[in-house]
């Protein structure tokens, strides 16, 4: 087994076959990764699996014969099939007849071997846990995958079960790189959380999360917001030009590093950086040419950063593609793209916001993102630089280490009060369902430098 396994998490309604032009970030990168896909049904045939593609919630099932991806495989919409067994979802008793039912009478053996009848009834939480243990996660109904993200839990269980399967064949990776967009980016964090529950520190995780948006109808839970101790590097892209209330991202006011409550010699604080990027939720993952759209160079820069991040942390890509087509741009080209975006930033913001709001039903009400209003919390000298990567590219002689910006000030109380009237109290106030013995750091995440994340020139 290669030391590094790369997981590609698609966003809502996207899959390896949903983007014919292969232009969206996750598809673009997965099309050029080197090696074989790790699949449970054929793991015995794959001697050196290097990657795994996980389709987005709400996406369509595709048969192998109609797949247009470079690795032609059949894939089902998340939630339709048992993520552990690949079969139709049934009851636990259909899978393991000896498992007791959720309620009713059951014959059990007494202390001296006698048979007696016992009444059993499990709570809703116990039932859900037992079902998930056997891969019986929630099934999407109608628009459930699109609206609520139903099915993304299947991607979490499929990914983690695959790692346990590789462990059984002595092929467990030492490091897992993840890249995801939208709900796919959130699923990266959920998967890292589950990997930590199962494997503790033994597998390092690096995540490139492009605009992590849970969705306006989705309940935000701890496993989406906690950066677990197994995460070594987290690079988050935040689109500044989206103004839809149903597309609010996980930003520095929601994401929290999970710290040990006791002195732990194995714990290393992760490198985390949240990078504002002009454009709406889709702009930041598309690679259109700059002349087509005022804000699109941001998508090209994100493509460049994702490729460099994954490559630095061990993901291998097709050598021929890297030689001829990879987005291996020098700082002067990147600065040119940033200059295009900075030149008419306000107009670009209005343009990106207008396009995003065209779909009124999915958009919700108009709501400007905090990352746009308080970009100075993410970058030093925000009037001069778009983000820290922009500043890094313009630094004299491109030194190996740039100083991290100072910790941001607290978000104004009047802003919190106004937002609470619309969205309710700030998340994580009561700390419910907090994993023990770890607790979230309530301070804002300190920005890591570009070189700490593996971005250098």
Please write the tens of the pLDDT for every residue from 3-44.
899 999 998 878 787 776 788 999 999 999 999 888 765 544
Residue 49 pLDDT class (50, 70, 90 cuts)? confident
Residues 387 and 409 in one domain: yes
Question: pTM of the entire structure?
Answer: 0.78
| pLDDT at res. 2 | 62
Q: Under DSSP, is residue 345 helix (H, G, I), strand (E, B) or coil?
A: helix
Provide the percentage of residues in the chain whose pLDDT is more than 90: 32
Residues 322 and 288 in one domain: yes
Residue 187 pLDDT class (50, 70, 90 cuts)? very high
| pLDDT at res. 404 | 46
Residues 104 and 162 in one domain: no
| pLDDT at res. 265 | 74
| pLDDT at res. 158 | 85
The more confident residue out of 280 and 418 is 280
Report d(CA 411, CA 253) in Å as an integer: 8
| pLDDT at res. 30 | 93
CATH of the domain at 325: 3.40.50.1820
Residues 102 and 229 in one domain: no
Mean pLDDT, residues 79-92 taken together: 59
Question: Over 50: is that where the pLDDT of 119 sits?
Answer: yes
Task: Please classify residue 34 by burial: count the beta carbons closer than 10 Å to its beta carbon, then call 0-12 exposed, 13-18 middle and 19+ buried.
Answer: middle
In DSSP terms, which residues pair with 181 in a beta bridge?
210
In DSSP terms, which residues pair with 260 in a beta bridge?
438
| pLDDT at res. 308 | 96
Report d(CA 130, CA 98) in Å as an integer: 13
Q: What residue numbers bound the domain in which 251 lies?
A: 4-83+139-453
Least confident of 86-90, 180-184, 383-387, 414-418: 414-418
Residues 128 and 245 in one domain: no
Residues 397 and 277 in one domain: yes
Strand ranges in 193-326 using DSSP code E only, listed in sequence order: 204-210, 226-227, 231-239, 256-260, 271-277
Residues 42 and 188 in one domain: yes
Please write the tens of the pLDDT for every residue from 333-369.
888 888 888 887 777 777 766 655 556 667 778 889 9
The more confident residue out of 90 and 57 is 57
Residues 235 and 332 in one domain: yes
Question: Over 50: is that where the pLDDT of 278 sits?
Answer: yes
Mean pLDDT of the chain: 76
Residues 189 and 108 in one domain: no
Structural domain count, the chain? 2
Positive/negative CA dihedral, 449, 382, 235, 250: positive
| pLDDT at res. 280 | 87
Burial 199-233 (b: 16+ CB within 10 A, else e): beeebbbbbbbbbbbbbbebeeebbbbbbbbbbbb
Least confident of 49-63, 209-223, 368-382: 49-63
* Among 279, 373, 385, residue whose Cα is nearest residue 334: 385
Mean pLDDT, residues 74-102 taken together: 56
Kindly report the backbone phi and psi dihedral angles of residue 301, in degrees, each rounded to the nearest multiple of 5, phi listed first: -65, -40
| pLDDT at res. 271 | 95
Q: Tell me how many degrees the CA angle 272-276-280 measures, rounded to the nearest 5.
A: 130
Provide the percentage of residues in the chain whose pLDDT is more than 70: 63
386: alpha, beta or left, given left = phi > 0 and alpha = psi -120 to 50? alpha
| pLDDT at res. 426 | 38
Please write the tens of the pLDDT for every residue from 204-249.
999 999 999 998 777 888 999 999 999 999 999 999 988 888 899 9
Give the residue from 101, 133, 165 where a domain finishes. 133
Token readout for 433 is 């369902």
Report d(CA 276, CA 451) in Å as an integer: 17
Residues 46 and 151 in one domain: yes
Residues 225 and 161 in one domain: yes
Residue 278 near residue 386, CB atoms below 8 Å: yes
Residues 276 and 384 in one domain: yes
DSSP string, 391-449: HHHHSTT--S-PPPPPPPPPPPHHHHHHHHHHH-SPTTSS-TT--SSEEE--SPPPPPP
| pLDDT at res. 43 | 47
Question: Over 60: is that where the pLDDT of 268 sits?
Answer: yes
Report d(CA 28, CA 14) in Å as an integer: 12
């Amino acid at each position: 087994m290669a030391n590094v396994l790369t997981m590609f998490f698609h966003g809502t309604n996207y899959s390896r076959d949903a983007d014919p032009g292969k232009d969206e970030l996750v598809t673009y990168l997965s099309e050029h990764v080197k090696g074989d896909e790790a699949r449970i049904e054929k793991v015995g045939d794959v001697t050196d699996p290097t990657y795994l593609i996980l389709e987005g919630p709400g996406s369509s099932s595709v048969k192998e014969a109609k797949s247009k991806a470079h690795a032609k495989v059949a894939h089902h919409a998340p939630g339709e099939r048992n993520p552990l067994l690949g079969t139709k979802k049934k009851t636990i008793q259909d899978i393991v007849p000896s498992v007791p039912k959720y309620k009713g009478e059951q014959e059990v053996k007494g202390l001296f071997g006698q048979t007696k009848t016992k009444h059993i009834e499990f709570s809703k939480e116990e039932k859900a846990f037992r079902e998930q243990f056997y891969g019986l996660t929630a099934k999407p109904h109608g628009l459930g995958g699109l609206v609520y993200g139903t099915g993304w839990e299947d991607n979490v269980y499929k990914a983690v079960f695959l790692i346990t399967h590789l462990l059984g064949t002595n092929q467990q990776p030492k490091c897992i790189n993840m890249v995801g967009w939208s709900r796919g980016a959130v699923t990266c964090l959920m998967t890292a959380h589950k990997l930590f529950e199962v494997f503790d520190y033994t597998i390092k995780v690096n995540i490139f999360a492009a605009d992590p948006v849970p969705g306006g109808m989705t309940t935000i839970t701890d496993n989406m917001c906690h950066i677990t101790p197994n995460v070594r590097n987290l690079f988050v892209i935040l689109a500044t030009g989206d103004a839809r209330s149903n597309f609010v991202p996980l930003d520095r006011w929601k994401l929290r590093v999970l710290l040990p409550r006791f002195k732990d010699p194995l714990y290393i604080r992760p490198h985390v950086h949240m990078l504002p990027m002009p454009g709406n939720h889709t702009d930041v993952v598309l690679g259109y040419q700059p002349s087509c759209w005022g804000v699109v160079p941001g998508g090209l820069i994100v493509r460049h950063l994702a490729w460099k991040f994954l490559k630095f942390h061990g993901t291998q890509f097709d050598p021929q593609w890297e030689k001829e087509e990879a987005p291996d741009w020098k700082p002067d080209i990147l600065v040119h793209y940033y200059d295009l975006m900075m030149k008419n930033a306000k107009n670009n913001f209005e343009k990106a916001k207008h396009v995003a709001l065209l779909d009124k039903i999915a958009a919700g009400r108009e709501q400007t993102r905090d990352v746009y209003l308080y970009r100075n919390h993410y970058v030093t000298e925000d009037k001069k630089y778009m983000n820290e990567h922009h500043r890094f590219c313009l630094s004299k002689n491109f030194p190996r280490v740039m100083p991290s910006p100072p910790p941001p000030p607290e978000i104004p109380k009047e802003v919190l009060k106004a937002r609470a009237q619309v969205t309710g109290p700030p998340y994580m106030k009561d700390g419910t369902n907090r994993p023990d013995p770890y607790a979230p750091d309530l301070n804002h995440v300190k920005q890591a430098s570009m070189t700490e994340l593996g971005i250098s020139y």
